Amino acid sequence: MSFRVFLVWFLLGACLLAAGVVCYWQYVGNILEREVRVQVEVAGRDTAEDFNRAVSWDQQVVNTIAITVQSEYPWKDKPGLVKFLQLQTKYNHFKNLGVITLDGQIFSSQEKSLDPKWVQYILGNTLEKEIFLSDRQPDPEDGNSVLVAAAILHSQQEPIGALFAVLPLERYQTILELPIGSETGFAFVVDEKGDVEVSGQKLSFDNIFTALRNAQFTDLNRFRLFQQEVENGQVSFLRYNFENQRRFAYGYPLSMNRWYLVSVLPTAAVERQARMLTWVSLGLFIFIFFIFFLLAGYLLRLRAYNNQRLFTTAFVDTLTGADNLARMNQIFPDYLEEMPEGAALAIFDITKFKVINDLYGYERGNQVLQRVADIIRENLAEGETFCRSTADNFVLLLKCEERSKLRSRLNKIATQIRRDCTANDACLMVDSAFGVYEITEDIPFFIMLDRAHLALEYAKNQSGDKIQFYDEKYRRQIVSERRIENSMELALEQEAFSVFFQPKCDLKTGKIRGAEALVRWKDDERGLVRPDEFIPLFERNRFILRLDMFILERVVQRLAKWEQEGKKLVPVSVNFSRQHLNDSRYIPQITRVVDKYRLPHDLIEVELTENMILDNIKLAQNVVRGLHNKGFSVSMDDFGSGYSSLNVLKNLQFDSIKLDKEFLAGFNSNENAKQVIKGTVEMLKSLKMLVIAEGVETEEQVQFLRDIGCDVAQGYFYAKPLAEENFKGWLH
């Protein structure tokens, strides 16, 4: 995966993570809010119950004291009553405890006169409600806020007054002081109008509804519902903003005066907790995310590295660093597409690379290959490519507008290689050959490669610059050669090869002196096939070794048969390929065949072409000598087509020399040709050799040859190569 793709994945992952965090944040926030809501609710309810309990306890105490006080009525011992009141005040931590009678008497633990309004207020409410708990009141004594709890006093079922206790607010504040849920939480008691009665803390407002309304409370409906619920004495919940703080408020009806306990908790506390939790999880998330991506990155790199290694193993030639053939095959179409002006596929081959390895070792061979790769690389133009296909074969895909330009480019490469790779101390030139297929057809890569290979085969056999462009005729030739190769074995088995005999005549007497055996292939499809069409191929695939022996045996067999028939025999020459020269079984084989039919050895003559002798004179010398030893005479065929010198001829001791057909080809038109023939014949005669002229076609030629002293002639003038039966007639 490329870095860019990885980055995209990373960013995608990061976005997902961010979205996840936001959701998670909200989720955690919700959970915590719910949690805190429950917490506030529970804490608020507990506080409310505590408050209820405390107030009703005080009320209870007031009631009990009232019962005691009314039982003593009429109070004879007034100082005793006051003392009692004082004692109870002390025990119960009242601010003041007193009795107000209907007839205007007042006894109080403080022994002070009371504000008449205050007296009226207490007495009026108590008589009306029998048990009375006041709202928050300023104590007329000192102005401090107090509550008044009072109970009606009876005597004989008739009200006589009220017992009241002044309760300092602090008494209840401590209950409300307990923080609700967290340190920032608080609680207070309001009446149904929202006025604050008791509060644990000092509040910045007196009326909760006014305060809420001032706090830009947006959800008016919710607020009204809350207000309604408070007024109706129902449990109620509200979330609101106050001084830029989000808050929860819970309301619980209390058991007295339609009072209401409100517990408040700013959500900031919750949010802080939630945020902390979220940050921690976010950190953890990011940590895991990075670990994951580091791991993923590492794995990707590992994979890329492995891919690279696999790629190198599969597609790169380790010795030269060039692509290999598999890779070339892969990228070939893309490169070709970018060469609209013409392209060619060239195969490069170092001629005699094996010899470099054998002579100088593999190390040197490898160096040569590396240098060759470098030189090719340096010579490539933009958009061209190459690969090393096998040991010393490189395949180049080159632009090719004109053959001549490409040829000079390849020549330049060859020259550079020859210059750079031939070691100073080495006598072996590093020469190269190119087979080129100019890409003109849309055919598969490997077929193009085959064609370039074919051209390379021809290039190797070329002299001069070994650069050969593929030609369609090569392919046709290959096809026909394959056909021949496929049928040659069967042809030999079924005796489709036959012998034709061409007589050789004495130029002086005109009588037959011998004959040459020439192979013919009777093919069902192609008719009678001439040797030129298959001998070169059989020489390459060495089938000629068997064919020549077959022809020899055929000849010997016929001669033996004709001898038995009482015919007068003439020596017959048989052509043998150069392939036999390297074969140590050659002479014994000939001998065995001839002996098999008990034919005198001097009836068989061996024809060896001039070219094959020149290839390896020493070897030829041994063979000629060996044949002579066995009593076979030896003739040099096609003399003059190569470059044999007098020296060669002298050392080889041929029995006869056959002048190449080409000598007579220019006979008619060219006076010089006659001089050449004359000179050659004279020279050969001076070496005491029998001279045979081949390809004699006219009376004029016969006359000329006779005049210059040539001994024997062979050619259409006397007879074409004849089938066995026809030749038998000739023997007469």
Nearest one of 520, 517, 515 to 495, comparing CA atoms? 520
The one of Mg ion, ligand C2E, none whose footprint includes residue 140, by CB under 5 to 8 A per kind, is none
The one of ligand C2E, Mg ion, none whose footprint includes residue 531, by CB under 5 to 8 A per kind, is ligand C2E
| Partners of residue 592 on adjacent β-strands | none
Question: Which residue is it, tokens 């009525």?
Answer: 73
Nearer to Mg ion, 449 or 606 (CB): 606
Phi, psi dihedral angles at 398 (to 5 degrees): -125, 155
Nearer to ligand C2E, 469 or 586 (CB): 586
Residues between 154 and 183 that touch Mg ion (CB under 5 A): none
Q: Is 607 in the site for Mg ion (CB under 5 A)?
A: yes
Question: In the set 199, 385, 389, 575, which binds Mg ion (CB under 5 A)?
Answer: 575
Q: Taking the CB of residue 647, how many other CB atoms lie within 10 A of it?
A: 9
SS3 154: strand
Q: Is 108 in the site for Mg ion (CB under 5 A)?
A: no
Nearer to Mg ion, 253 or 514 (CB): 514
The rounded Cα 537 to chain-centroid distance in angstroms is 48
Amino acid in the structure at residue 235: V
Minimum distance from CB of 462 to Mg ion (Å)? 25
Q: Is 655 in the site for Mg ion (CB under 5 A)?
A: no
The one of Mg ion, ligand C2E, none whose footprint includes residue 716, by CB under 5 to 8 A per kind, is ligand C2E
Distance CA 291, CA 25 (A): 22
The one of ligand C2E, Mg ion, none whose footprint includes residue 577, by CB under 5 to 8 A per kind, is ligand C2E
Minimum distance from CB of 535 to Mg ion (Å)? 11
646: tokens are 């007098």
Minimum distance from CB of 658 to Mg ion (Å)? 5
Residue whose C-beta lies closest to ligand C2E: 715
Question: In the set 431, 553, 605, 637, which binds Mg ion (CB under 5 A)?
Answer: 637
Minimum distance from CB of 632 to ligand C2E (Å)? 15
Distance CA 395, CA 34 (A): 77
Amino acid in the structure at residue 90: K
520: tokens are 């013919």
SS3 90: helix
CB-based burial of residue 130 (10 Å sphere; 0-12 exposed, 13-18 middle, 19+ buried)?
Answer: middle
**DSSP letter assigned to residue 207:** B
Minimum distance from CB of 664 to ligand C2E (Å)? 8
The one of ligand C2E, Mg ion, none whose footprint includes residue 200, by CB under 5 to 8 A per kind, is none
Interacting residue ranges for ligand C2E, rule: CB under 6 A:
502, 518-519, 530-532, 535, 544, 548, 551, 575-577, 607, 637-638, 661, 694-697, 714-716, 721
Nearest one of 592, 591, 600 to 560, comparing CA atoms? 600
Minimum distance from CB of 692 to ligand C2E (Å)? 10
The one of ligand C2E, Mg ion, none whose footprint includes residue 715, by CB under 5 to 8 A per kind, is ligand C2E
Minimum distance from CB of 447 to ligand C2E (Å)? 33
Helix, strand, coil shares of the chain as percentages rounded to 5?
50, 20, 25
CB-based burial of residue 364 (10 Å sphere; 0-12 exposed, 13-18 middle, 19+ buried)?
Answer: middle
Minimum distance from CB of 637 to ligand C2E (Å)? 5
Binding site for Mg ion (CB under 5 A): 575, 607, 637-638, 694
